[in-house]
Amino acid sequence: MSLLESPSFETISSAIKSTTHPDGSYVLALTSLGNYYVSSASAPSNAIHLFDKSFLKCVQTLKGHQNATTTLRTVRGIGGSDRHMLLSAGKDGCVIAWDERSGTPTIQMTTSGRSRTVLSCDASHDGLTVAAGTDLQKEDAFILYWDPRKPTVPLRVHGSTHSDDITAVHFLKNSPSPTSGQILLSASTDGLVSTSNSAEDDEDEAVLNVGSWGCSISQAGWIRGSSANRVWAASDMETFSCWSNELDMLQNCDIRHPSIHSHGRTWVTDYLITCHNTKRSDSNLAVFVGSNEGDVALLSSSNVSDSSAPWTINSAWANGHTGVVRSVLWDEAHEILVTGGEDSKISTWRCPLPGQFSRFDKSVQDENAMDMDSTILKRERDDEMDISESEPVRIFLSTTF
């Protein structure tokens, strides 16, 4: 496998801003909510921190989950709400939709009967279904579905789709077909990727397609396409795979193999951090990888479905972390990359759009580029959150359920 250097390749070695978790914990996950970047902290803190986007200052802390927060994401319109909300899952067996304005749970969904660790969660595009994947206890690992308007008991439980920890669940979103919004992708350490109809009570009828990789799957997600959707997955062994909409395997590679040693420059991948569907293109998947020294790089393939297609290194961010980078968030709207690591550090970086991801020419990119301290972003921040000027900023350091 070859790794090409993009003509616009750049190593960025100076962060815009950096901060650390108040409790010194690992940064496990990052997401964006209005004028905040949001992070989840490792145990024993388990807190969820909200950082102002312009100044990267922690302005609010949510208590999080009692026994570790396992998933953190931003979803739209849970239970009929018209606003974006934080959704988290934890080892305490709960899935929580948060109201960051009050610092308290808006909706708390729990597993029925014996408490189970929830490893993954997502909400449907219409916000009327929440799905979660559990760990394996005895011989069962479950996909749980809730109607968030009735959160005390799962709407349905599927227990035979997977036979081990369910590490990822993702609804198919932004699809023109209403019924496509009911399709749930799931992946597990049992080596299977699966798609299911979340509205079907009978699990045998619910499962649509199954693909077997034969290795423990740690991450998975949809690849948006204009003609057909595909699926990406990553294993615990740092291998990357691409699957068709019917879950036929299209590519299987060790993401550590593509490396570059030229022009006095060296890049060797040690691990895959995550993948990102860029909003600028429906054909390219951004693959973020890291080095054990704490550097991050953006890789892409001209065709992730073709194992013979070369990989390209588009950008690298260096000297920002010491050790493993656990999470990245690409804020495409402002060309900002946010990174979080085991060193407890969160950094924002300039993230120029690689040519193959951009629908615009370079002059338009430069015109639209936005500094994190710009008055435009500050105005956007106020408009997004719709907070009155007279309302003080509230800080919640020890919110309890």
Residues paired with residue 313 on neighbouring β-strands, in sequence order = 5, 299
Tell whether 153 is covered by a domain. yes
Number of residues that make up the chain:
401
Tell whether 393 is covered by a domain. no
Instruction: Count Cβ atoms below 10 Å from residue 342 Cβ, excluding itself.
Output: 17
pLDDT tens per residue, the chain (401 residues)? 678 998 989 999 999 999 999 889 999 999 999 999 999 999 999 999 999 999 999 999 999 998 889 999 999 888 877 889 999 999 999 999 999 888 889 999 988 767 789 999 999 999 999 999 999 988 999 999 999 999 999 999 999 999 999 999 999 987 656 667 899 999 999 999 999 999 999 999 999 999 999 999 999 999 987 778 999 999 999 999 999 999 999 999 999 988 887 777 789 999 999 999 887 655 579 999 999 999 999 999 988 998 889 999 999 999 999 999 999 999 998 899 999 999 999 999 999 776 656 443 333 333 333 343 443 344 344 443 332 333 332 222 223 32
Tell whether 391 is covered by a domain. no
Is 118:54 a contact under the CB 8 Å cutoff? Answer: no
Query: What is the spatial distance between Cα 175 and Cα 236, in angstroms, rounded to a whole number?
Result: 30
Stated pTM of the model: 0.86
Strand order, beta sheet including 249-254: 217-223, 230-235, 239-243, 249-254
Return the ∠ at Cα 152 (arms to 150 and 158), rounded to 5°.
90
* Helix/strand/coil percent split, the chain, to 5: 10, 45, 45
SS3 166: strand
Is 185:222 a contact under the CB 8 Å cutoff? Answer: yes
Domain with residue 64: its CATH number is 2.130.10.10
Give me the pLDDT at residue 170, please: 97
Q: Which of 238, 246, 223 is nearest to 301 (CA)?
A: 223
Tell whether 347 is covered by a domain. yes
Tell whether 343 is covered by a domain. yes
Tell whether 99 is covered by a domain. yes
Residue type, 135: D
Instruction: Count Cβ atoms below 10 Å from residue 27 Cβ, excluding itself.
Output: 26
Q: Which of 254, 260, 242 is nearest to 306 (CA)?
A: 242
Quote the number of domains for the chain: 1
Identify the domain containing residue 128 by its residue range.
Answer: 3-385
Is 370:331 a contact under the CB 8 Å cutoff? Answer: no
Tell whether 399 is covered by a domain. no
Tell whether 371 is covered by a domain. yes
Give me the pLDDT at residue 79, please: 82
Give me the pLDDT at residue 311, please: 92
Residues paired with residue 235 on neighbouring β-strands, in sequence order = 217
Query: What is the spatial distance between Cα 134 and Cα 163, in angstroms, rounded to a whole number?
Result: 11
